Amino acid sequence: MSNFQQDNVALMCDISELVSLFDFEAGLDGFLAKVVSTVAWHMRAAVCSIYLYESKTRELVLRANQGLNPALVGHLRLKLGEGITGTALKEMRAICEANATDHPAYKHIPGSNEEAYLSFLAVPIQRKMNPVGVIVVQDPQWNYFNPNDVQALRVISSQLAAVIENAHLLLRLHGGADSADSALGHDLFPGDPGFEVGTHCIRGQGAAGRMAMGLSTRIGQYLSQNPADHLCPLGLTEADFDRAIQLTERQLMDLQARLEDKLQDAASMIFGAHVLMLKDDAFSGEIRQNIRSGVSPWNAILNQVRHYSNLFGQSSNPALREKVLDVEDLGHRLLYNLATPSFDNASPDYTGQIIIAEEFLPSDILKLAAEGAAGLVLLGGGQYSHVAILANALQVPLVIVSDRRLLNLPENTPLLLDGKEGQVVIRPGPDAIKTMQEIIRALVDSERLADEVLPVTRTRDNVEVQLMANLNLVTELDVALRVKANGIGLYRTEFPFIVRNTFPTEEEQYHGYRSVLQRMDGRPVVFRTLDIGGDKALSYFPVGHENNPFLGLRALRFTLRNPEIFKQQLRALFRAAAGHPEAKVMFPMVASLDEFMGARDLAYQCCDELAREGIVHRLPALGLMVELPAAVMIADELAAAADFLSIGSNDLIQYMLAADRTNDEVAAWYSPHHPAVLRALQRIVTVAEQADKSVSICGNLGADPSMLPFLLGIGLRVFSLDPMQIPAVQRRIAEIDLTRARAFATKLLGLGRISDIADAIPSFDRPE
């Protein structure tokens, strides 16, 4: 690594430290002034400037600078698209010029004293794909900045975007907040009597198939305490509050560090809002002023958290509403650190506790898993498959129920959670606890059996079958490797997007994808591009109301409609694929040959751009998912154009039968053994074979033991599964003889009624 590269690493570390030490007393401009000084020093650049974008005027304003005329700070304005700086933001791309005057958009700024600076590098700062500003460096030496400098500034711009957005949100809140505090009512659900004394079993939907025992809690439950009923600890001082602030900050930074180490693809500044509020003088400073005026530190914290929780919850700004859990969680931690013996919980985290809530955002799942939650209970209707998948990926039990009495459950009520059968047991007796302990031990034993998986899966007549793993987050790689998966057949790249509060940058995506390839050590990895929409919406990028989101702007439609998002992901994937011939990319929800070729053309554009920028990359094999009836009908043309096919069985069945697979009301119509589904599967495999293209299947169908003989019988040899399903599927495949399986498949394909097929399926395992 060159000295310049080493210094860029140090620069990114220093900026990261500056972000974590954001000081509201110094203000945003004071923070930006430190940033430009740090960047200029590390990059040995004569000039560094930061411009912030004002949406009302559509102008960039110089907010911090080192090296130019200081009188311009706060006064120099550039319109969107004006000069190299304005062009970089308008086109949302980095611009690096050996000689600035050669660029067609170059604009001389009179009185700036920039005449002597030839080299020019401008990198846009963007948040949620919205313009935030531009960071610029200049130097008198011709062709001074290299691709490493460009990548370093890209990382820095993403770090700056997060802190600038959170700072703006809090500053805006301070300016428009009502000064009157309004505490939450003592009785949150006065019309709900709750549960009588004794054991109760609530049935719901198991969403993450694990078990848990723990004590109930609702985040922010402490806010409903009536001061007349709850005496705050006596003798607390401002010094105790300062100690609680320092301890809370250390805990949050440690949580963030541990989360980033475990989840490189999804943990970017997940606790950033907590830390910023902790440092915000209008939050902690107001608490301190109240303490000095005679309010107990305990009550001062409670009052301020109540105030912010109400303000966030009532805001029309969705970004603020999403921070309700953050401020309530922060209050929980502050109160614990202020007076541990007086707090109900035995930990500042949620270790040993089962969280009950009306809503969990995907980012909440990540935070609560990091804070040790034993399990989760989610109330309310709607579709939550993305939350369930995340909980399962993070190995946190989750049950979805509709009984709202759980919201009024007293704090620290003993609960048993069965995430497999979908049950919540309230105040379990000794027999129930013993049974649950035995089930948990049995699950541990079954996971131990995963270590006994054979490295090669074969049918009874010795034909090899590939068992690949589905991956949602990098944390699941350990399980995939433990069960000896032959590769990753489906990496759902949208989940690192869903759990965050903004789009990951190209650089962040690149590092995440590269880490997956490195960990898989030469095994195949198939990355599916963003499948956003339906029940997987991004809270920070609303697409507007859709009457039927599953038939709306989702998957490839979304990315083709938003090429700036799509290109960032494709660039990151192609950079990660360099040196990894096993990497492949596939497009989801392809409905036409035109859509596939449009996505492929965009991929070629990205490769051309990377080549022009001198960035190492590789164009991997490009495939597609067959999961729409339209794709089945044109499967031969798609197979001819694509490098490989993958059958998305869950969506294929759903769209073929017009039956929502997550809706209990139509569960009987969601039939994997419908004759149309079976014939569609055969057609896809046949045309893939004719085109000499590989074909795999992913989704629940591939793990169904009763359907495996049919799937093998029509010619499928590659299955992509939840990693923990691999041991059972391998054992089932070992029992299947392909000659019998082919005859069995032919028999099922000849039947026209669902009931006849259902009756015939068990016959495969009957003695001949």
Strand order in the sheet with 205-208: 200-203, 423-426, 414-418, 211-217, 353-357, 375-379, 398-401, 205-208
Q: How is 270-330 classified by DSSP, letter by letter?
A: TTHHHHHHHH-IIIIIHHHHHHHTT--HHHHHHHHHHHHHHHHHH-S-HHHHTTHHHHHHH
Q: Check 48, 96, 606, 698 and give the catalytic one.
A: 698
Q: How many helices (H) and strands (E) does the chain have?
A: 27, 23
DSSP state of 547: S
Amino acid making up residue 310: N
In this structure, the strands spanning 464-471 and 488-492 are parallel
Report CA 403 to chain centroid distance, whole Å. Answer: 28
Please state whether 667 falls in left (phi above 0), alpha (psi between -120 and 50) or beta. alpha
Which residue in 274, 386, 617, 674 is the catalytic one? 386
42 tagged catalytic: no
Query: Three-state SS across 638-669?
Result: HHHHCCEEEEEHHHHHHHHHCCCCCCHHHHHH
Amino acid at 689: E
DSSP readout, 587-645? Answer: ESS--SHHHHHHHHHHHHHHHHHHHHTT------EEEEEE-SHHHHHTHHHHHHHSSEE
* Distance from C-alpha of 579 to C-alpha of 270, rounded to nearest angstrom: 31
What CA–CA distance (Å, rounded) separates 424 from 185? Answer: 27
User: d(Cα 382, Cα 319) in Å, to the nearest integer?
Assistant: 21
What whole-number distance in Å separates Cα of residue 310 and Cα of residue 304?
A: 10
Query: At residue 713, what are phi and psi to the nearest 5 degrees?
Result: -65, -30
Single out the residue of 270, 734, 197 nearest to residue 504, CA to CA: 270
Residue 689 to residue 704: CA distance in whole angstroms: 23
Q: Which two tokens stand for residue 343?
A: 């707090």
Mark whether 698 is an active-site residue: yes
726/453 Cα distance (integer angstroms): 8
Cα–Cα dist 711/450, whole Å: 23
Q: Tokens 């301070």 sit at which residue?
A: 174
| Gyration radius of the chain's alpha carbons | 28
Active site residues: 386, 698
